[in-house]
Amino acid sequence: MSAFSSGCNQECHGEFVEIGKKIVAKCHSVPLAIKVVGSLLFGQDVQKWESFEQSGLATNGEGNNRIMSILMLSYHNLESSLKSCFSYCAVFPKDHEIEKGVLIELWMAQGYIVPLEGGQSIDDAAEEHFVILLRRCFFQDVMTDDCGDIYSIKIHDLMHDVAQEVGKEEARVVTAMTNYTGDKIRHFEILPDSIGNLLHLRFLDLSHNSSLEILPDAITRLHNLQTLNLGRCNNLRELPKDFSKLVNLWHLDIHILSNVTNLSGMPSGLDKLSSLRVLTYFVVGNRNSSDVDELKALKPLINLKGSITIKISEYYNNRKVVGMNNGVEGRYLKSMKYLTGVVIKFSEKQGGCVRHEAVLEVLEPPSNIKILL
């Protein structure tokens, strides 16, 4: 077990070993149960170990029932917000690879995240919730990206059973359209005709949908929507005309793999979304507007973080961009101190290095970005 205190002397170490052997026996030598108990007792004194061995593991269950009772005990020792975060994981199938970023977005959409210490931001609190559950062995099979950051996790089958047991009154998984269209639905991954009536919907994932070409205007009635994932909808060509009513939207993913997008342009009202933190894709020029600088909509979005791809089509011919920047207009990205990457794609039909430099000058990415392409 990995639960010994670093300040333990030789005598108490022996006591820990003896009690630890009894605990391992009661865990039926099951690695998951041992790890869970070890994480629960880490840093505790001998008295706490003895109490746990004598009462915490005092159960009449045998075999899998005994293991489940141990895992449930670890769950019940979590803070309330952590319990909610873990139980929500029951919506995923067993052995499913869960992306860390998506999981955290779901927690935030449900309102589960609360600061665990004074002055902590919601983003930092969400990260801490994830780390605590990982350290307490609720997650496993960690995958990392090229930078060494955690990308995804899985949940052990027995832990998944715990999540289903404790979350059975809270979670409902609908895999196809049924008569169940209760107004309390908060998470949807299909697009019913009645989507605009789901007023409590906070998370809508329509990603990897090659048949989706037009996003219905009814989406704009979802005032509680926080995350809209349209990633890899490569045939998407039209968004609703006005997004200004989506006042709670903070994550808009329109990541498109294809170099050529059919998207006709961005909806108006994006500049009114003060909560927006993630905007993966922004396209200008396909509507052939010469009077309004479409890039201007980016300027108020000072809380954007992560990376954004900006597609400049051949129709983007704003005179303010072609001419010299007068120092008043432009600088649309300059105040985005949380932005880490900017990718600017110009249409192949759009020539001229001078024009490209003019667009860069007007955008003026912040100095803190790590990637500029």
What pLDDT, on the 0 to 100 scale, is given for residue 173? Answer: 61
Give the confidence band of 168 by pLDDT, cuts at 50, 70, 90.
confident
Q: Using CB atoms within 10 A of its CB, is residue 76 exposed (0-12), middle (13-18) or buried (19+)?
A: exposed
Specify whether 199 is located in the same domain as 345.
yes
| Residue 177 in domain | no
Instruction: Give the SS3 label for residue 204.
Output: strand
The better pLDDT of the pair 210, 64 is held by: 210
Does residue 2 lie within any of the structural domains?
no
Last residue of a domain, one of 54, 77, 100: 77
Let me know if residue 183 belongs to a domain: no
What range does the domain containing 269 cover? 193-372
Instruction: Check whether residue 68 and residue 97 sit in a common domain.
Output: no
pLDDT number for residue 223: 93
Q: Would 180 be classed as within a structural domain?
A: no
Each residue's pLDDT tens digit, 66-84: 788 889 988 998 999 999 9
Percent of the chain with pLDDT over 70: 77
Is the predicted pLDDT of residue 104 greater than 90, yes or no? yes
Looking at the fold, whether 143 and 155 belong to one and the same domain comes out as yes
Angle (CA) 175 180 182, round 5°: 115
Give the chain's domain count.
Answer: 3
Q: Which residues contact 281 (CB under 8 A, 6 or more apart)?
A: 253, 254, 255, 256, 308, 309, 311
Say if residue 305 is in the same domain as residue 343.
yes
3 within a domain of the structure (yes/no): no
Cα–Cα–Cα angle for 63, 69, 71, rounded to 5 degrees: 105
Q: Do 321 and 198 belong together in one domain?
A: yes
Q: Which residues are within 8 A (CB) of 56 and not within 5 positions of it... i.e. 6 or more apart?
A: 73
Indicate whether 247 and 136 sit together in one domain. Answer: no
What pLDDT was estimated at residue 59?
Answer: 56
CATH of the domain at 290: 3.80.10
- pLDDT at residue 228, rounded to an integer: 93
| Amino acid 182: pLDDT | 56
223 with 91, same domain: the answer is no
Q: Which of 37, 54, 77 is the last residue of a domain?
A: 77
From 149, 167, 185, give the residue that closes a domain. 167
On whether both 53 and 99 belong to a single domain, the answer is no
Q: Is residue 178 part of a domain?
A: no
Q: Please check the confidence at residue 227 and state whether its pLDDT lies above 80.
A: yes
Q: In this structure, are 298 and 264 located in the same domain?
A: yes
pLDDT at 259 over 60: no
pLDDT at 13: 73
**Three-state secondary-structure class, residue 98:** strand
Task: Identify the top-confidence range among 82-86, 169-173, 266-270, 360-364.
Answer: 82-86
Query: Is pLDDT larger for residue 322 or for residue 231?
Result: 231
Shared domain check, 237 and 155: no
Instruction: Please check whether residue 186 lies inside any domain of the structure.
Output: no
Q: Is residue 209 part of a domain?
A: yes
Residue 245 sits in the same domain as residue 318: yes
Q: Give mean pLDDT, residues 155-166.
A: 94
Mean pLDDT of 275-284: 91
Are 204 and 318 found together in one domain? yes
353-363: pLDDT as tens digits: 546 777 788 88
Report the CATH number at residue 100: 1.10.10.10
Q: Contact at 8 Å (CB) between 306 and 276? A: no
Residue of higher predicted confidence among 149 and 58: 149
